[in-house]
Structure 1
């Protein structure tokens, strides 16, 4: 079989050894004795490569044809015409995928969050935690930390959360606790100082566990951050400012009433399933409402966990069950942020 480039003029049986010269608008076919033909590139027809990797070129309205190696063609012409429909098909699929991503992120954030792999969510949570926690001192104390982790492990087991929940305590006077993507819970010193007993703390932790179980932080971020979050979860590099923006969005987010209603109800159920008193959350709501006007420090829990008139009634649990922490464990937890 001939190799190299061959030109057939279409008028005789002669076969010409040729070279191809490409310009922006034309293909010039040169023979040993000079130029054999000039074809407009807009009228070129590129055939399918054969098993040897050779293609046939022709020009609409011209009788000749060229046989050459596929690698001799410009890059943008290496896809045969038949294959171009294949690539156009992929472009169409990509456009549909982008439209679907828009619907999932903007219109159906819970569905979009459900499609995010756990590994990607964990990576996002780690980045956001570094920004949220990085501004505060992390409170240490082996006994207190162990007590909180054991309590949360019981709640997470009742909630059916497969991975361990990471609990971080930070030295902030804010009365709050919040959840981050990737099963992470941040508790602030102000919450320890505000609650009257460990069962109220357990009620708040059970509520936050409800958000973790339903992946509410990721859903809320999808609703708020949109395409920026898609880039992060897919591993596309973002600068520190972008991660800080995501962290700021998360801290300032308010969950929907449905999210809060489910977190309340599920939190009470987790406490009961764990054999613990389940009246702590309602007691905490009543306590915070009573003290919010006079206590020092910002009370954030009710500002980003909006309270409705019937919410306290729905979160009523039972005093039946064991206390969330022993007196010794509770003392260790409250001492975690004391500076040595």
Structure 2
């Protein structure tokens, strides 16, 4: 009788009860294509045809009982010692259900990490660290571009933003820069920072539309959306490395590129719109400027 090495010997606390006494024999199971050999310390104790094997239900400890039709005795063993071909379908279904549950739990954890954890992580970042990060990122974003320094225009923008920030309940002053770029855009950065491109100022039809855009961006600042988006898009490892002990040695250029390339979620944008309208109204300004600009 030849036994296949591919289904070799197993001994994981397997016990054989011969049916004639109450003694439990420590055994090793050896499987061939047609037979199961039950080997004890003194030699072979029984040989059962695989076609006549019966696999019982797992007991509370997860062990199963093997028996053979027409033969005395039974074997108590771990299901892992059984070849896949003889595991009953009901046990396989439980196995698949177990993996299904693992998958469900993994999806729930992924939801928490992707949707909930970024907001929690952003809230835990100290303001001082966020301000330092914002300062470094702004230096990279602005880069070699010329910053518009018209005193009168800068003062008007800062006064407008101060009114919006007050309405938004932002405690620290919003740092505002106008960059000499044709791009029609405005950015919010960590640490209550706003960057407005010259192209945006040239494109708006009137002051109310510019105020509407700034109010929208102020909504992102008030909710710390840049940090939330950074946690969500760049990963917690990148953020922790950036905001950790070695803050000054982090790859800020890479992080700035990630931040500029990130997009806010629909919920973030919707809240920024709604809050921006509220800030405009609280500041005594027209609230239809943003809608007019987008049209």
Q: Which residue of structure 1 aligns with residue 226 of structure 2?
A: 217
Q: Deviations over 1:290-328 (max 9, x none)?
A: xxxxxxxxxxxxxxxxxxxxxxxxxxxxxxxxxxxxxxx
Q: Do structure 1's residue 235 and structure 2's residue 267 form an aligned pair?
A: no
Q: Which residue of structure 2 aligns with residue 174 of structure 1?
A: 183
Give, in angstroms, the shift of residue 235 of structure 1.
Answer: 3.5
Please give the secondary structure, in 1, of the residue aligned with 2:145.
coil
Q: TM-score, normalised by structure 2?
A: 0.60
Q: Which residue of structure 1 aligns with residue 294 of structure 2?
A: 285
Q: Which residue of structure 2 aligns with residue 311 of structure 1?
A: none
Give the 3 Å change call, closer, same or farther, for CA 252–193 of structure 1 in structure 2: same
CA distance in 1: counterparts of 2:126 and 2:270, whole angstroms: 26
CA distance in 1: counterparts of 2:208 and 2:238, whole angstroms: 39
Give, in angstroms, the shift of residue 252 of structure 1.
Answer: 1.0
Q: 1:194 aligns with which of 181, 203, 207?
A: 203
Give, in angstroms, the shift of residue 228 of structure 1.
Answer: 1.2
Q: Which residue of structure 2 aligns with residue 31 of structure 1?
A: none
Q: Which residue of structure 1 aligns with residue 277 of structure 2?
A: 268
Please give the secondary structure, in 1, of the residue aligned with 2:178.
strand
Range that drifts further, 217-226 or 207-216: 217-226
Give, in angstroms, the shift of residue 154 of structure 1.
Answer: 0.1
Superposed CA RMSD: 1.7
More RCO (CA 8 Å, sep 6+):
1
CA distance in 1: counterparts of 2:267 and 2:184, whole angstroms: 23
Q: Do structure 1's residue 142 and structure 2's residue 151 form an aligned pair?
A: yes
Contact 1:176 1:190 in 2 (8 A): yes
Contact 1:136 1:170 in 2 (8 A): yes
Give, in angstroms, the shift of residue 135 of structure 1.
Answer: 2.9
Q: 2:161 aligns with which of 152, 169, 174?
A: 152
Q: Do structure 1's residue 255 and structure 2's residue 255 form an aligned pair?
A: no
Give, in angstroms, the shift of residue 238 of structure 1.
Answer: 5.7
Find runs of 4+ consecutive structure 1 residues off by over 3 angstroms. Answer: 103-107, 237-240
Q: TM-score, normalised by structure 1?
A: 0.52
Q: Do structure 1's residue 203 and structure 2's residue 212 form an aligned pair?
A: yes
CA distance in 1: counterparts of 2:134 and 2:193, whole angstroms: 7
**Consecutive unaligned residues in structure 1, runs of 5 or more:** 1-99, 287-340
